Structure 1
């Protein structure tokens, strides 16, 4: 008999809400373990998966393809001419027992087929006036071994529907220095039932659904090959790969170079000697990588244009885009002066000069501090005098460290101004 929308005696209640487990509750995240903290700060791609987010238990969500197993709990309700409501556990023979209908074999039945199977069994006994409802309420409790290259190998409790990620997270995650993120195996006896590639989960959101059983083993083998990536990339990490045909182009799909990157430097680890190779990214599909290589993505291209800002007294635009290598004369020809302009007193400010001035100032102040703190005295009176002088000088040094250089370029002769090369981010001021 077809299932109805509501159950007599429970009018107004949706069946899904009635079947909701009574022990559902809000879970408070547990404090992170040392292994999880180390995973969070690791430079190995994939280690950030195991920081405790998967280890928390949650309400079971059964997919339609879940196969009923021994030990699963099934909520069964009959109403109408005959009333019955009970949580039934699948027995060792794979059956549940329905009153008057007898045993019904449900082991191996897909979740989406469960209710139809129970309805057919009820119809064989109750021809009319009895409706039925059956739903999977709780998955079988299982104990799963987690071994291989994980931080805390052991036997962990869960359910048959918990993901491989949860068991790995409870075991502290894959050991970043030894374990493979590409070949996580699920074994039952001598058979490897599934192999999970955690990169697929990170990059594509795909993860094989494996229904675990008591005594299954999740095994993490050692990684085969690994390279380190740095420079102009979104993911500056250590990446794992399989086989001997990995190219720079394939690695770029994982590391995601920035738009400004043009070349890659490959440092080969050949024992005591480290050889560096340099390639444009256009040849990335021809460069093969081996275990231990280090890659740095760089920008090796001169800018086609530069931007210069003009401030002070003039009637022109404030910013100019000029070809790379332009001289000051090219810019001065485009500036329209006004009555307040003094084109003979143009000043130039440059970011690179500002940085050098800051470094030179810091070096000078450091040397001054050392001379004040290491000066020797011939007598106690001289020592007190030097101490007082040093305190005053150190106060001045402290204030001097707060000075921000302006990066002004000294122009020796006005006649040479037009031949000076411009660089990006230069600023020009013409004063009254």
Structure 2
């Protein structure tokens, strides 16, 4: 353990300053004391302090790398400020104990200056006066008590001034859930806070700030709560003695608060749950705060809720919860559905600005069953855009089909037939509803997108099947074979139909992507879609039909036949 190199010098300078200012709690003021006696008392005391001052043992301070919001409430107390105090930090309520040094000055009919130590019986000895019982006396009452005893001998013409030189040195054990448990040297005027600070503070992950015991001779004589000091200004009342033990008990249940608040900390509580109103008292939300998001687990299942501050007051906060306060307006919340194979909620209400990963953190899945690399997102706004684009393509197709003029009677007949086919095709295409897929999984992992209201997160299961659809004779599911290409699966489905475009093959990947067959390999969970081949002679609409077919195949994963007659 390192010893502060400057402790002796700091202590001596502090004593000089202390004695030069005096103790305002005494009945006698500095103005009443002759200067030569005050100087003499100051010189004697400072000399004693320089040679016998108490050293403060303290381990090297561990740098705190945690962010403020991760810290438990109360951790801000123990950053070295207590342990930096000089050993003479006395107050009028300090109780004199054996081992303390008392400075006494007499002037008038008798002139004398003396420094004496309180003996084991609690007395100091004054020549011509005898023993004076001072142990148990408050420092603020010391001068009155000594003066009263002296005047039993010197009744007139003698003035008295007393003060303390140094308090009794003590060794205190600090143990339990602190960073550096051990035995620490100090003085009895130091509080429990000083000695916890010397032990580098309470362990952030294990220690309690609300359940600390002071043990003396095997008995707990005081239990205190640091929250009482932080919130009410109440301090531990027991004066420490040599051999006392400070025991920091294990951390209680806790919940963290962050966001638009003044106290971003982790708060402890003794009960199984606390109400949101209790959290508000500790966290102190900003005036603009309107909502709170609560995330955690309930019965082993991830949980998330988004509440107005009014509703939050009656909400139950559990151990391990994280409460995020925000200043969102009414309606700034999102309803998210989660479908597929998982053990979490089917619907969640989250604050505006929530990302996909933040919701997935609260969706428990069995990784042996679920294909986490193929998570999909369906979004209504994307579906609406896809539907609009499809309708525009169908409108262009219809206009072009009807506007082309035949060049002969036979061509007119063929055109009429083809227009009838196109009309039926357009009618079927109008019934297609795009899925609004947003591809969020890929080779580089998950894209952490911001969620929108009514998004649907799809958690797919692992499968050993490859679906084959579109222009094949027998659309079916085929067992996946590693290394096999799209043609293998098409042949297993009866081969290409008469209307198939043998080069128009799309691979609909498990993660929602649609990729031409020659740009990717077929994997388990994929779908092979064979597009139809165009056989329109009279109508110059090939480009428009291809556009519609491709949009339907990629936005709805639905193969649509051009001719069904």
* C-alpha distance in 1 between matches for 2:303 and 2:253: 19
Residues 303 and 285 (structure 1 numbering): CA distance in 2 closer, same or farther, change over 3 Å?
closer
> Among residues 218, 227, 232, which one is paired with 2:246 in the alignment?
218
* C-alpha distance in 2 between matches for 1:213 and 1:5: 35
* C-alpha distance in 2 between matches for 1:85 and 1:36: 49
Residues 37 and 232 (structure 1 numbering): CA distance in 2 closer, same or farther, change over 3 Å?
closer
Query: Within 5 A, what are the aligned runs for 1:262-281?
Result: 262-270=290-298, 272-281=300-309
Query: Within 5 A, what are the aligned runs for 1:33-432?
Result: 33-34=61-62, 42-58=70-86, 60-244=88-272, 246-270=274-298, 272-302=300-330
* Aligned match of 1:370: none
User: 1:46 touches 1:181 (CA, 8 Å); kept in 2?
Assistant: yes
User: 1:35 touches 1:172 (CA, 8 Å); kept in 2?
Assistant: no
Residues 40 and 214 (structure 1 numbering): CA distance in 2 closer, same or farther, change over 3 Å?
farther
Following TM superposition, by how much is the alpha carbon of 1:200 offset from its aligned partner in structure 2, in angstroms? 3.2
* C-alpha distance in 1 between matches for 2:212 and 2:243: 17
* Aligned match of 1:424: none
User: 1:40 touches 1:50 (CA, 8 Å); kept in 2?
Assistant: no
Residues 212 and 149 (structure 1 numbering): CA distance in 2 closer, same or farther, change over 3 Å?
same
When normalised by structure 1's length, the TM-score is 0.62
SS at match of 2:229: helix
* Aligned match of 2:555: none
User: 1:183 touches 1:195 (CA, 8 Å); kept in 2?
Assistant: yes
User: 2:172 touches 2:185 (CA, 8 Å); kept in 1?
Assistant: yes
Look at both structures and tell me which one has the larger radius of gyration over its CA atoms: 2
State how many pairs are aligned. Answer: 301
Provide, for residues 32-65 of structure 1, a one-character-per-residue CA deviation record: whole Å limited to 9, x for no partner: 6225566979532222222212111315232222
User: 1:39 touches 1:176 (CA, 8 Å); kept in 2?
Assistant: no
User: 1:146 touches 1:167 (CA, 8 Å); kept in 2?
Assistant: yes
Following TM superposition, by how much is the alpha carbon of 1:71 offset from its aligned partner in structure 2, in angstroms? 0.6
SS at match of 1:233: coil
SS at match of 1:249: helix
SS at match of 1:185: strand
User: 1:232 touches 1:297 (CA, 8 Å); kept in 2?
Assistant: yes
* C-alpha distance in 2 between matches for 1:246 and 1:88: 55
Residues 259 and 269 (structure 1 numbering): CA distance in 2 closer, same or farther, change over 3 Å?
same
User: 2:87 touches 2:166 (CA, 8 Å); kept in 1?
Assistant: no
* C-alpha distance in 2 between matches for 1:14 and 1:206: 39
When normalised by structure 2's length, the TM-score is 0.48
Residues 166 and 11 (structure 1 numbering): CA distance in 2 closer, same or farther, change over 3 Å?
closer
Q: Does residue 1:10 correspond to 2:36, yes or no?
A: yes
* C-alpha distance in 2 between matches for 1:286 and 1:9: 66
Provide, for residues 312-355 of structure 1, a one-character-per-residue CA deviation record: whole Å limited to 9, x for no partner: xxxxxxxxxxxxxxxxxxxxxxxxxxxxxxxxxxxxxxxxxxxx
SS at match of 1:138: coil
Following TM superposition, by how much is the alpha carbon of 1:158 offset from its aligned partner in structure 2, in angstroms? 0.4
Provide, for residues 175-204 of structure 1, a one-character-per-residue CA deviation record: whole Å limited to 9, x for no partner: 000101112222212333333322233344
Provide, for residues 293-318 of structure 1, a one-character-per-residue CA deviation record: whole Å limited to 9, x for no partner: 221223342599xxxxxxxxxxxxxx
* Aligned match of 2:527: none
* C-alpha distance in 1 between matches for 2:48 and 2:32: 19
User: 2:87 touches 2:167 (CA, 8 Å); kept in 1?
Assistant: no
User: 2:122 touches 2:133 (CA, 8 Å); kept in 1?
Assistant: yes
* Aligned match of 2:532: none
User: 2:295 touches 2:305 (CA, 8 Å); kept in 1?
Assistant: yes
Residues 113 and 56 (structure 1 numbering): CA distance in 2 closer, same or farther, change over 3 Å?
same
SS at match of 2:318: coil
User: 2:215 touches 2:245 (CA, 8 Å); kept in 1?
Assistant: yes
User: 1:185 touches 1:220 (CA, 8 Å); kept in 2?
Assistant: yes
SS at match of 1:195: strand
* C-alpha distance in 1 between matches for 2:140 and 2:299: 58
* C-alpha distance in 1 between matches for 2:109 and 2:138: 29
The runs of 5 or more residues in structure 1 that have no matched partner are 305-432
* C-alpha distance in 1 between matches for 2:67 and 2:299: 29
Following TM superposition, by how much is the alpha carbon of 1:143 offset from its aligned partner in structure 2, in angstroms? 0.4
SS at match of 1:168: helix
SS at match of 2:316: coil
* C-alpha distance in 2 between matches for 1:12 and 1:174: 43
SS at match of 2:210: coil
